Structure 1
C-alpha cells in the first residue's frame, strides 16, 4: 500500500519538479541542444560559460544584491507592521474595530495594476522614481501587509487571554505584554509571514518595470528580461542560467522553513 502511495506521489510531483529540472539542466546546454527535438533530459555537452556571461552582459551581482536587500527590508517592515496591527485588532477593543478591519481587508481586493499609476505620479512628484523607495514602502503598507495583518490577528486571537492577564498582574503594560508575551509565542505565524512576504518581494515584476530605469538599480525579475542578443532574441542558455541562480536559493529557503510556514498558516483558522 505504501509503495503504491509513494509511486502515485512521484507521478503527481512530476509537473512541479520537471520545469525546475529543465531550467537547471538547460542552463548548462548549448543553444543547439536547448532547441533540439526531441528534447533530452540531460545535456550531452556540459557548457558552463552561460553562467559567466550572466555577469558579463549585466551587473548581475549588483542586481542580485538589490533584490536581496529590498526583500529583507520589506520582510522586516511587514513583520513589524503586521504584528503590531494584528495584535491591536485582536486584543484592543475600540469603536468601529470590526468595520475598520473589514476596510483594511478590502485592500486585498484591489489589484496592484489599479493603483500603480497614481502611486507612480505620487513618487514622481516626490522625486523618488528610479530609486528603490517605492519597492520598499508600497509593499510594507500595501496588500502583502494586509494579508500578514490578517494572519497575525487570527493567531493572536487564538492565544489564551489568561497569559496576558498574568502579565498585567506582574506589572506589564500593553506594549510590554505584546513584546514579552504575545510576540515570542507568535513565531510560527511570523515565520509564515516572513516566507510569503520575502517571496512576494523577491518575485516582484510590475513595480520595478514602472519605477526603475537604470540597469544598476534593477531587481532580478526585471534583469531576467534583459538577456537578449543583438537582434532582440532571447539568449535562452544565459536566461536559464540567471533564472537558476535566482530560483534555487529561494527554493532552499522554502524547503528549510516549510514547517514554520505550514504551522503558522494552520493557526490562522483556530478562532474567528
Structure 2
C-alpha cells in the first residue's frame, strides 16, 4: 500500500508534464500571434525567430484602427454574432422541443429531412442564395448573413442538440404541468426551458464562435468596408505595394481572437456539460 501511495504523486507529475508537452503545439501559435503583434515588421521575419519582442511597440494596434474602420467592423461582428446566437437558441429550442415531445404524423421523417441540412455544404447553396438576395436588393447588407446563418447548418445542429436533451425529460413533468392547467407553450417556457440551461449554453457557445469566425458569407454578400466583419477585415491590411502588413494584421487578429478565447475558456465546463446531457460526448 505504501508503495502505491508513493507512486501516485509521481504518476500525477508525469501525467501533467506529458499533457503540458502535448499542449505546446496548440498554445504556441497563439503565443506567437500575441507576441508578434508587438514586434516591428522586420523583427517578425528575423532569424532565429524570437519568442519575445526585442523592441516592443503598440504602433501595430494603432494602425489597425487607422488603416480601416476596425472599431465599426468589430461592432458588426459582435452584433451579428449576438443576434444570430439569440435567434438560433430560440428557434432550435422550439423546434427541438416539438420534435421531442409533440407526436404528429411524419415527425421522424421530418426530423430526418432537417438533419439532411447538415450534409449540404454552404458552398453548394451560396450561388442560388446570392441570386435570391440580389433580386431582393439585400446584397451589401447584413440581412443575408443574419438569415443564412440563423437558418443554416449551425441551426440544424442546435436543433439536434436541443431535441436530444428534451427527449430525456421525464413525461411526469409534463403530466404534472397539465394537471396544474398549463398549456403546451407554457410547459415549454416554464418547465422545459429552465431545465435546458446547460444545453442552451452549449448551443450559444458554438453558435457564437461559428458566427464570429464566419468568412465565406460576408465575402460574398458584403462589398463596403464599413459593413465588413472581422474575418473579412483581417485580409485587407496591405501596404501601398499590396504587401501584407503582418504586424498590423496580427494585432487585429489578437484583438479578434483573445476575447472570444477567454470567454470559451471560462465557459468550457458548461459547454461540455451541455453536450454530455445530449449524448454527444465521447
Q: TM-score scaled by structure 1? A: 0.98
* Structure 2: distance between partners of 1:121 and 1:237: 38
* Correspondence 1:147 to 2:157: yes
Match for 2:171 among 150, 161, 164? 161
* Structure 2: distance between partners of 1:161 and 1:49: 61
1:247 is aligned to 257
* Structure 2: distance between partners of 1:220 and 1:31: 21
Unpaired segments ≥5 residues, structure 1: none
CA shift, 1:238, in A, is 0.1
Task: Describe the superposition over 1:67-108 as per-residue Cα deviations: whole angstroms up to 9, x where unpaired.
Answer: 000000000000000000000000000111111100000000
RMSD across aligned C-alpha pairs, in angstroms?
0.7
Equivalent residue runs for 1:24-43 within 5 Å: 24-43=34-53
Q: Highest CA radius of gyration, 1 or 2?
A: 2
1:216 is aligned to 226
Question: How many residues were matched structurally?
Answer: 270
2:8 is aligned to none
* Correspondence 1:172 to 2:172: no
Task: Describe the superposition over 1:135-183 as per-residue Cα deviations: whole angstroms up to 9, x where unpaired.
Answer: 1011111111000000000000111111111111110000000000000
Match for 1:45 among 55, 61, 70? 55
Equivalent residue runs for 1:11-160 within 5 Å: 11-160=21-170
2:201 is aligned to 191
Q: TM-score scaled by structure 2? A: 0.95
CA shift, 1:31, in A, is 1.1
* Structure 2: distance between partners of 1:102 and 1:38: 55
* Structure 1: distance between partners of 2:191 and 2:225: 45
